[in-house]
Amino acid sequence: MGSRAPLFLKGFTSACLGMLLAACENNQMNDLQQFVEEVKSRPPGRIAPLPQIKPIETFVYTASNKRNPFVLSEGIEEEMVSEASDNGIRPDTLRRKEELEAFPLDTIRMVGTLEQHGSTWGLVQTKDGTIYRVQPGNYMGQNYGRITRILEDRIELTEILPDGQGGYLERQASLALNE
């Protein structure tokens, strides 16, 4: 009988817990049912009617006597070529690009200079933290920027930019030493 008592207690405890849970569940269901009935008893809302669709006037476009805007005619092509400013400035697109040409110029910082064997080198750092050694004649930036001079406080370069009319123009730029 000693072994039956704990078994009996376990069964009794489980039954009591089950009834308590059922009572709690029943209480929550009553609250939920009351809320649903309250919402159902409210007067229904009014749905606004759909807006009336206004008919669009049709228009027939006949352009048989007009020039096709998607095909260049000979006169316009010659005019565009003559308007393009051909000042002889063109980037060398056949040369092999250097590593620093992959970075926009505003993301490259000058961090110092280095003199070695009578030559002055510039030290620049990219956004990813890599430091490069440059000298006059090297390219950097995405506008074909060629380094012209390296001074202790800045690197001067010449960029080649499109002028918007089919030609190119040069612009002077510089990177100042960041201290």
- Can you tell me the distance from the alpha carbon of 61 to that of 57, in angstroms, rounded to the nearest whole number? 13
Tens-place pLDDT, residues 62-87: 777 777 777 766 655 555 555 555 67
Please work out, in degrees rounded to the nearest 5, the angle formed at the alpha carbon of residue 153 by the alpha carbons of 151 and 154: 65
Least Cα distance to 109 among 92, 77, 132, 85 occurs for: 132
pLDDT of residue 151: 92
Contact 142, 154 (CB under 8 A): no
Alpha-carbon distance values, 175 to 7, 123, 138 (Å) = 87, 11, 14
What value does the mean pLDDT take over residues 2-13?
62
Could you report the per-residue pLDDT of 11-68, keeping only the tens digit for each? 667 666 666 666 655 566 888 888 889 988 888 888 888 889 888 888 787 777 777 7
pTM greater than 0.75 (yes/no): no
Residue boundaries of the structural domains of the chain = 99-176
Class of domain 99-176: mainly beta
